[in-house]
Amino acid sequence: MYIQEISINIQADVDKDDAVEEFMNLMYAYRSSGQTQGRIESRYIEGGRIVSLPFTLEKDALDTKFNNYYVNEYAERVEAFCKAKLFYRTAGKVYDGYEGACKCEKSDFYILITNYLSIDSPITCGNCKNTVPLYKLPVYYDYGYMPVLSWESNYNACDTLQMNGEVGERWALNQMQELKSQLSKQGLKICRKIEELTGIPVYYYLHNYRKNVGNECLKLCPGCGMQWHLKTPLHASYNFKCDDCKLLSVISPNS
């Protein structure tokens, strides 16, 4: 993950609050175009300058070639309003071990998965296990990826509830592990749409934290009822995979 600096000077005769609002519209557009990660980046005003420090998956994620209509539109607006040019700089890389985003020419399959801590893209490459920047995929809806990010934040919210364990834990867990839950339905719809757009199969990850009863390996795919246990776990973590239903899951750690 990289930390980028996006900033702009505000001229003395420009209203600071209005300038910040215009700037925030641009930051929102970057988020929905898939170019920045996480929902709230560090932002501050210093010496008549608005500064924001978003995370990106690739060093060149803010290159104009990845901009969509809204990013271009809001970038122009904020520059016109502030009577200045936007300034971009890569502040750094989060840590040395960051493997970077998927660079596969063509992935054999993708996985839709996230968790309460993740600010990666919710699409993982089935070949290299790395995260796939959304801006590398065909446009999903209205120049961007908001429906995918909406599922992601719903999933993050459910995972947070089940991790905290005091409010709605059971309900949230069921949303994550039941095939017919609203959360799974929303996710599966996204899988099918991305498949249609890319021609690449997209697997949906079903969480599993059920109490282990008997031999977990005998569990059947919740979609088609067929055997789906893998002899060798995929990516050393997924124990279950159904190629017909395009579902993945794990052996529950809750013994």
Tell me: does residue 91 bind Zn ion (CB under 5 A). no
From the CB of 247, what's the least distance to Zn ion, in Å? 6
Burial of 62 (0-12, 13-18, 19+ CB in 10 A): buried
Q: Is 224 in the site for Zn ion (CB under 5 A)?
A: yes
The residue count for the chain? 255
CB of 25 to Zn ion, least distance (A): 33
String of contacts with Zn ion for each residue 6-25, x by CB under 5 A: --------------------
> Segment contacting Zn ion (CB under 5 A): 36-44, 58-66, 75-83, 127-135?
127-135
CA-nearest of 6, 80, 65 to 36 is: 6
Among 125, 183, 194, 248, binds Zn ion (CB under 5 A): 125
Q: Tell me, rounded to whole angstroms, the distance of Cα 90 from its chain centroid.
A: 21
Nearer to Zn ion, 8 or 112 (CB): 112
- Our CB check for Zn ion shows the closer of 201 and 223 to be 223
Exactly one of 48, 147, 168, 223 binds Zn ion (CB under 5 A); which one? 223
Count the Cβ atoms, other than its own, within 10 Å of residue 166.
6
Stretch that binds Zn ion, among 95-103, 110-118, 139-147, 207-215 (CB under 5 A): 95-103
Is 74:68 a contact under the CB 8 Å cutoff? no
- With 0-12 / 13-18 / 19 or more C-beta atoms within 10 angstroms meaning exposed / middle / buried, residue 138 is exposed
CA angle 61, 119, 140 (to 5 degrees): 60
- Site for Zn ion, rule CB under 5 A: 102, 104, 125, 127-128, 221, 223-224, 242, 244-245
